[in-house]
Structure 1
Amino acid sequence: MFTKILIANRGEIACRVAATAQRLGIQTVAVYSEADANARHVAVCDEAVPIGAAPARESYLRGDRIIAAALATGAQAIHPGYGFLSENEEFAEACAKAGLVFIGPPAGAIRAMGSKSAAKSLMEKAGVPLVPGYHGDNQDPAFLREQADAIGYPVLLKASAGGGGKGMRIVEKSADFIDALASCKREASSSFGDDKVLVEKYLTRPRHIEIQVFADGQGGCVYLFERDCSVQRRHQKVLEEAPAPGMTQERRRAMGEAAVAAAKAVGYVGAGTVEFIAEESRNGEDGSFYFMEMNTRLQVEHPVTEMITGLDLVEWQLRVAFGEALPKKQEELTIHGHALEARIYAENPEKGFLPSTGTLHHLRTPAAVEFSIGAALGLPAAVRIDAGVREGDAISPFYDPMIAKLIVWGRDREEALARMSQALAGYEVVGLSSNVAFLQRLVQSQPFATADLDTGLIERHHAALFPPPQPASKAVLALAAAFLLAGERPAAANDPWSDAAGWRLNGMLRRRFRFDDDAGSHEIAIGYQSSGWLLLEDGDAASLSLLKQDGPALTVRLGDATLRGSVVREGESLHVFTHGRHALLTYRDPLAHAGEHEAEGGRLTAPMPGKIVAVLAEKGRAVVKGAPLLVMEAMKMEHTIAAPSDGMVEELLYAVGDQVAEGAQLLAFKAA
């Protein structure tokens, strides 16, 4: 076995690979950009080498620097993780030329499957069913629109070299095609250095099912069953599970054998995923499925396969790359129970899943839980967290905003769902926006709970998944008030002038607390008693006392009820976590100076740091509500800034190529 490997990646996948390598006694070398000098993956590896500036093109995409680091540290092999150079055939070839083992498939297999167009042509020759579409080399916009018109709308534009939901656009009608194509090509060029696209018929209610395959250098190839990745936003996966709900043994075998045939057709070696879309059928599985693409790497969602098989896929990668045969044959592989994975992202679901940047000032996670039945089957844990960041780390605009992957296992899907809900309730994130609350609603929603799955689930059930803001409960207000009152206790008990007990000779001291949230304003009164306080709200009164405080964790008694939660303060913001929910309150301190908030009329600001890639408006030109004004690129995704109403652009403040900071005014706009 290898004695030292270099991990050419960052974040949670670098930490994940390092954990298996170290368990096998293999030393690990990390590489890092200037932005990641203090990152978790640097800390968990045995050695670390800097490779460049923060932008990926100047660091994690610099194959020459990564190979030089491997040679300098005496590494024998390079594990690429996923993303970055994991599916770059030139990098795989360069590793071989340098005498290094690339822990992935042969360059020829990457080349054959790396282009979605070429892969579909290959599968078509092999008799694998394809979605109707155009996968050729002619990229003339007028020609591509003619193909789309012939296929019939809606169609899907997809970057040929793409992945991760980038460079994809759904086009509903012919009139929108050219603008969508231009945007798709810009994003594809920025993310992959290749603006070639393909056009496919867009299935309105497809299931996204992928097959995990594994091949060795001796001709062995197996499939490790399927994963259902249908629940997506912006063409990126949100929840994954294994096995796929409703999958019959016959269909599993058919899809598995098709995936193995695809892998063998390109001389595949290592871990790979063959992705299919399957037609939705109201009467159960109808057996029809279509090849979509093959990912020639380890997938983000590989842990759910590990949970149901009890296997370590990274260990399999290392053994196969070292020249060993596959550890198991097809007939030795079995499915145990059900697993779910939720991707915890720094993003704001209520704002179109806009990525969020900032520092993780407070991060609490559910503990990994060993489960007796799971342990007996050789499974790692009932609750598993793969994370690349810690409390105090920053989520920067340079890379994917993933905080962690939360994976759970249950004896069946119902138990896994319950465990996922419980685990999500244990997540506390402060410092930036996260999708934890959205994931809770999604997991508990009727369509997901009943496995009514397809790639449009989130859009179709948007109203239920994005309910209007709910006002803070009395429990939340009580915890917030107790936290503030506890912070007023004197440092020196013998200093009467610092005593905040509120004692009065006659009568009771009463104070008013005002908290604002997305649902409005809430005002409560607090009366000071000889022991604790009295909370008064809407004519009701209840005794309030602080029983215990341990950092942000509070135990409070409100009347006869005992409340437990955490309160974290950021300036005037109070983050209250209780009963598995996160409430964000703004405390309006009457003693503080009320700052004047700048009116935003006539301003359109950058929602996050990024670069201007297109200016679509003209100074002095009238526009209608919703018209695109300019396009920003941030975290490798494009974000269109649209007119908030009918009006006129008075001034453009930035040009194409300009970098802008979060909150920067982009243009002056006058409403009609």
Structure 2
Amino acid sequence: MRLLVANRGEIARRVAHTARLLGIPTIAVYSEADAHAPHVRACTHAQPLLGAASSAPQETYLNIPRLLGAIERSNATHVHPGYGFLSESASFATALERSGVTFVGPPVAALEAMGDKSSSKRIMEAAQGVPLVPGYHGKDQNDDTLLAAATEMGFPVMIKPSMGGGGKGMKISQSRDDFLQQLTTARREAASAFNDDRVLLERYVPRSRHVEVQVMCDTHGNAVHLYERDCSVQRRHQKLLEESPAPGLTEAQRRRYGEAAVAAAKAVGYVGAGTVEFIADADDPGDTFYFCEMNTRLQVEHPVTECALGVDLVEWQLRVARGEVLGFGQEEVDCAARNSMHAIEARLYAENPSNNFLPSTGPIWYVRWPKAREGRVLTRFETMKDSPFNPVRTPYVRVDVGYEAGGEVSANYDPMLGKLIASAPTRDEAVRLLHDALAETRFMGLSTNVDFLKACAIHPDFVKGGVDTAWMEGRLDAIMDSAQDRWWQRVAASSPDEADRIAAVAALIAARRWDVSAEHAASGASLGAWMGADGFRISEATPMPDEVVEIVAGEGVEDGCTKIRARVRRRRASGESSGKAGALDLEVVVEVHDGSDGDSAVAYRAVPGAAGNAQGADDPRAGDGVSSYPTRTGSVRLISLENRRVQVASPHGETIEKMSSRAYVDGKPLDAELVVANRGIANAWVGEGTATMDLRILSEEEASAEDATADLEASSGKSAAGVGGLGASADPSKVASPLFGQVARISASCIRGQAVKRGEPLVWVTSMKLEHELAARRDGVVADVLVEVGEQVKEGQVVVTLDRWEKVTDSD
């Protein structure tokens, strides 16, 4: 067997991991953008997708002829499709079959039956033991036919693509009035993601839970279910948190779900790993549930089942593809389920929760994953046991990742960065473990949903268990309040001094970047001066510019965001002779600006060489010479733990400086970490309970110039444009794209001279297979349309400009 993995990212690495344990050589395929991606290095061999005009999916991972070329050049005998891309493509499986290559998945007939969601509904209607939700699954796709069917079943109605999955193209129509608009958008997104714009309709169940069942079938007629996963924590139909077992279900109810799933799989002659999804009534999830669809592939959330039961699903996919008999029956699975662990998965995305969860693209300057077993599946190869079910009995975190520092997230592909899976004997333990793992995770260079997931994981509703699929939408503001967006306001309101101290710690760490001798700075060697506990020592040759460290908790927040500006001033301590190393006297003034009458400024003064064994005595370096910083109620003492400078292997050539410190605030330890890019942008994490803080490190001159510009614009009645997504609102006469993407369409009313209303959609941009609407930000007249359909746009690029009504009237 020579296995080609027709995918990218973390799933390609995941498949390669098990193949390596089985002794199977693997071949990666890659686009030009992925030439140096981790999944390429994870495989034994690699093949480029030759002839592609770009790295777009249609040119690469969705291009069957190019994949067949790579398969032929590599002499692959089997192909694992992963998930997404061509994983559920009957055309791809047919092409492989004709080439004499084995598709690691179900037969073509099953792909055709279940891949077309409308066809699968009709098949399930004839099957025994598979409950169905009312809907329209017909072949007639005429607008009038679909509208009539929706009206007959009653609104609200779910519009879903007949092909594909992952929440893409799914829309909810609340009434006849918005049905055709939602239908048009659903078709367009479906065509973009799956090359097929057919849809089906289902009665929308407002309070529902998403419960799915993992099945495994072989070519010898054996079929088992491996119990359920609850995937109800969703946003825009995209799963974020998944877990097993599903909260609140009895053993008998869990078996009923499993039996229905096996009946569905047998109805289409299924082979391999698959997932049968059900919609459950949130008020009666154990007894009222309906067949939704079957995913004929390995799911993103498959590690949940693997960790709960201790089974390697990829191993059995490969064994079944080789014609082996399934190595376990339902009784053995049932026994494992009665003694299972509880596993919860969190999906980490490159997206900005503060900016309506828009995808974030660009380089990853720094990443730190939690201490975990990366991509680990404890199989019988490692446990040396015969049973395929060997769950780890102690709490642990598994990390499946597709990106590393120096990588770049492209708008061409799905924005998922990786997954964290927490496994523990009880759900309560797993929830706490997941939160702690998220708190350890660090990203810099692009926006992520890490802090948002952390807030979800500790929300009382989730901790209790059994939330429905609409839970997040209904509580989004509350979750955001507890995440990073309003973190400063919450801390400042409950403990103003704590907010001041945390800001001071972040600023002081940034200031200590200059505590480096000229020779160390020139060589880029380990920053030894930082590691000492002898106060702030600095050579005469070292530059000492004043800096302003601007701290904002919550990226892209414009209204109600508290900004912390810490001015760091340096000067020689008195009594030091010229030409010799001397202590550096630092003064940090922390200004808290939250747009209210509560703005304040608190000064912190460095005391070079101050001792204080009473504070932080548990640290071996907490003796004489550790600098101390007075606060309103006590002092902040800072001890260097680590300082290193690394070159990130990215096309942008970033140099990253990473600093870790331990601050003793009134004698209590507070660990802090600062990561600075060479363009003066930084992230800080202070303490375990804080969210990501975004820092900009400016010179005194740069800060003064920005202040002067802001004052001038404020006095003239204009809005200051934010820097890096921060600050006040942009000019409302300009409609700009908030993300990198491609212009999908332009409104018929978006032509020069046409009057438009505030909120009226003008341009639609597609990024990462999703469509984003750009609307007018004020009433006006279109002055210029600066883009065309199909054109690539950058983040922040202006696409339409508007004139005011008065200007048009005056010109007339």
- The answer to whether TM tops 0.5 is yes
CA 1:313–1:512: 2 relative to 1, 3 Å: same
Residues 138-149 of structure 1 aligned to structure 2 (within 5 Å): 138-149=140-151
Contact 2:4–2:76 (8 Å) recurs in 1: yes
CA 1:181–1:529: 2 relative to 1, 3 Å: same
Shift of 1:401: 0.9
CA 1:515–1:95: 2 relative to 1, 3 Å: farther
2:421 to 381, 404, 407: 407
- Deviation by residue 1:507-534 (Cα, 9 ceiling, x = unmatched): 9966344578888987543423232655
Shift of 1:499: 8.2
Alignment partner of 1:555: what SS?
strand
Shift of 1:91: 1.0
Shift of 1:217: 0.4
CA 1:240–1:286: 2 relative to 1, 3 Å: closer
Shift of 1:573: 3.5
1:615 matches 2:725: no
Contact 2:634–2:665 (8 Å) recurs in 1: no
Between 1:16-25 and 1:188-197, the stretch displaced more is 188-197
Between 1:387-396 and 1:518-527, the stretch displaced more is 518-527
Alignment partner of 1:415: what SS?
helix
1:364 matches 2:368: yes
1:338 matches 2:342: yes
Contact 2:411–2:740 (8 Å) recurs in 1: yes
1:49 alignment counterpart = 47
1:312 matches 2:312: yes
Contact 2:209–2:279 (8 Å) recurs in 1: yes
Shift of 1:536: 5.7
Residues 617-656 of structure 1 aligned to structure 2 (within 5 Å): 617-619=749-751, 620-656=753-789
Contact 2:641–2:662 (8 Å) recurs in 1: yes
- Deviation by residue 1:141-175 (Cα, 9 ceiling, x = unmatched): 12211221222211111111131111111111211
Shift of 1:14: 0.2
Between 1:467-476 and 1:338-347, the stretch displaced more is 467-476
2:73 alignment counterpart = 72
Shift of 1:86: 0.8
Counterparts of 1:494 and 1:349 in 2: how far apart (Å)? 41
CA 1:523–1:32: 2 relative to 1, 3 Å: farther
1:451 alignment counterpart = 465
Counterparts of 1:516 and 1:131 in 2: how far apart (Å)? 54
The letter for the 1-side match of 2:799 is L
> How many residue pairs get matched?
666
1:23 to 21, 24, 45: 21
Q: TM-score, normalised by structure 1?
A: 0.94
Counterparts of 2:332 and 2:502 in 1: how far apart (Å)? 52
Counterparts of 1:621 and 1:270 in 2: how far apart (Å)? 57
1:174 alignment counterpart = 176
2:487 alignment counterpart = 470
The letter for the 1-side match of 2:675 is V
Shift of 1:256: 1.0
1:574 matches 2:690: no
Alignment partner of 2:468: what SS?
coil
1:496 matches 2:537: no
The letter for the 2-side match of 1:612 is V
1:554 alignment counterpart = 661
Counterparts of 2:173 and 2:779 in 1: how far apart (Å)? 24
1:585 alignment counterpart = 695
Counterparts of 1:522 and 1:57 in 2: how far apart (Å)? 54
- Deviation by residue 1:155-211 (Cα, 9 ceiling, x = unmatched): 111111131111111111211111111111111111111111112111101110111
The letter for the 2-side match of 1:91 is F
The letter for the 1-side match of 2:739 is M
The letter for the 2-side match of 1:511 is E
Between 1:465-474 and 1:173-182, the stretch displaced more is 465-474
CA RMSD of aligned residues (A): 2.6
- Deviation by residue 1:536-589 (Cα, 9 ceiling, x = unmatched): 66x556253334333322222344232212111244433111333322234454
CA 1:384–1:273: 2 relative to 1, 3 Å: same
Counterparts of 1:518 and 1:433 in 2: how far apart (Å)? 22
CA 1:75–1:601: 2 relative to 1, 3 Å: same
1:121 alignment counterpart = 122
Alignment partner of 2:700: what SS?
coil
CA 1:382–1:260: 2 relative to 1, 3 Å: same
1:529 alignment counterpart = 607
Contact 2:538–2:584 (8 Å) recurs in 1: no
Counterparts of 2:514 and 2:169 in 1: how far apart (Å)? 53
The letter for the 2-side match of 1:125 is A
- Deviation by residue 1:331-384 (Cα, 9 ceiling, x = unmatched): 011221210000011111222221111111110111116999x98973357210
Shift of 1:476: 2.8
Alignment partner of 2:325: what SS?
coil
CA 1:494–1:439: 2 relative to 1, 3 Å: closer
Counterparts of 2:377 and 2:359 in 1: how far apart (Å)? 34
Counterparts of 1:275 and 1:517 in 2: how far apart (Å)? 49
Counterparts of 1:317 and 1:490 in 2: how far apart (Å)? 55
Contact 1:513–1:589 (8 Å) recurs in 2: no
- Deviation by residue 1:300-352 (Cα, 9 ceiling, x = unmatched): 00001011111100000000000001110000112212100000111112222
1:38 alignment counterpart = 36
The letter for the 2-side match of 1:347 is E
Counterparts of 1:232 and 1:463 in 2: how far apart (Å)? 15
Contact 1:512–1:523 (8 Å) recurs in 2: no
Counterparts of 1:614 and 1:508 in 2: how far apart (Å)? 58
- Deviation by residue 1:28-84 (Cα, 9 ceiling, x = unmatched): 100000000000000111110000331111111122222222232222111111111
Contact 2:506–2:686 (8 Å) recurs in 1: no
Contact 1:524–1:535 (8 Å) recurs in 2: no
1:203 alignment counterpart = 205
Shift of 1:495: 4.0
Counterparts of 1:328 and 1:181 in 2: how far apart (Å)? 45
CA 1:209–1:410: 2 relative to 1, 3 Å: same
Counterparts of 1:321 and 1:494 in 2: how far apart (Å)? 65
Counterparts of 1:415 and 1:97 in 2: how far apart (Å)? 50
Shift of 1:135: 1.1
- Deviation by residue 1:464-489 (Cα, 9 ceiling, x = unmatched): 11115132723432332222221122
Counterparts of 1:579 and 1:486 in 2: how far apart (Å)? 18
Contact 1:40–1:388 (8 Å) recurs in 2: yes
Counterparts of 2:143 and 2:696 in 1: how far apart (Å)? 50
% identity of equivalent residues:
42
CA 1:301–1:517: 2 relative to 1, 3 Å: farther
Contact 1:425–1:579 (8 Å) recurs in 2: no
Counterparts of 2:538 and 2:461 in 1: how far apart (Å)? 60
1:378 matches 2:390: yes
1:511 alignment counterpart = 587
The letter for the 1-side match of 2:353 is P
2:239 to 237, 240, 245: 237
Contact 2:225–2:261 (8 Å) recurs in 1: yes
Counterparts of 1:77 and 1:383 in 2: how far apart (Å)? 31
Counterparts of 1:600 and 1:513 in 2: how far apart (Å)? 32
Alignment partner of 2:641: what SS?
strand
